[in-house]
Amino acid sequence: MRVFDQVNSIYRGVFSIKFKHESYSAVNTNVISDAIRVIPDLQTQELFASRKMLYRFHSDLLTCFIQCNIIPVPGDEPKSKPLINFTAEDIRVPFLVKASTGFLKKTNIVAAGAREIYQLNNKNNASINMVITAEADGVNAADLKPIEQVEPGEPCLAVIDIHTDIADDEYRMFDNKFLLVDNMPEYKIIFKKAM
C-alpha cells in the first residue's frame, strides 16, 4: 500500500513586472532579458531567503513567487497565505537594473553619471495602467533621484522598489489579512526607444 502526503503548500506569484521597449520583443530572439539584468540587491536576497521567496526574469517579465500554505475557504476558492507572515509594516523589495551598452544605445534616457540613478516604484508613481514610473509614458528624467537617496549598494542603471504596503488596491499584493490577493499585480516599466 502506498501512502501519499497531501500537498499543503505551493509557490504562488506575488507580483510581476513587464518590461516594455519598442526595440525588443517578447517572442523572438531579441528579448529585453538579454540586454538588461534585473537582480535582487543584498537586502532583497536576505528577504527572499527568510520569507521562502524566489524570482525569475525571462524574456520581458520579472515574476516573484512566495511559498504559501493553502487555506480552504468554505464555498469559495482556497486562499494562499505565505508560510512566513508579512506584517503591517511596509517592506521594501529592491531590484537592481543593469544594462548593456546595446540597451543604452537603443533607449531614450538621460546620461545620469555617478550622481543620479533611476528609481522606479509601485508606491509613488503615475498610478495609470500599473506603470511604476513617475510619468505614464515611461522612464524619463522625472524618475532620476540622487544616488545617496536611493542607495543602490552597487553601480546600476536603476533601482526598482516594490513596497508591500500600498494604498491603491490595484497595486496591492496582500489583502488586509496578509493573504495574497486573488489577482497578482502586474506592474509595467516602459523604456522609450532612442530617437
Instruction: With respect to residue 3, please indicate whether it lies within any of the assigned structural domains.
Output: no
CA distance 164 to 17: 15
The pTM of the full predicted model, rounded to 2 decimals, is 0.89
pLDDT per residue over 110-120, tens digit each? 877 789 999 99
122 within a domain of the structure (yes/no): yes
C-alpha closest to that of 180 among 76, 85, 40: 85
Whole domain around residue 176: which residue ranges? Answer: 9-191
**Residue 145 — very low, low, confident or very high, per pLDDT cuts 50/70/90?**
very high
Predicted pLDDT at 103? 95
Residue 4: inside a domain: no
Q: Is residue 1 part of a domain?
A: no
Stronger pLDDT, 167 or 155, i.e. the higher one: 155
Based on the structure, what is the number of domains in the chain?
A: 1
β partners of residue 120 = 160
Is the distance from CB of 160 to CB of 94 less than 8 angstroms?
yes
pLDDT confidence bin for 19, thresholds 50/70/90: very high
Confidence of residue 3 (pLDDT cuts 50, 70, 90): low
Structural domain includes residue 2: no
State the cell numbers at 99. 544594462
Q: What is the pLDDT of residue 113?
A: 74
Question: In which band, very low, low, confident or very high, does the pLDDT at 27 lie, cut at 50, 70 and 90?
Answer: confident
Residue 96 lies inside a defined structural domain of this protein: yes
Q: Which region holds residue 149: left if phi is over 0, alpha if psi is between -120 and 50, else beta?
A: alpha
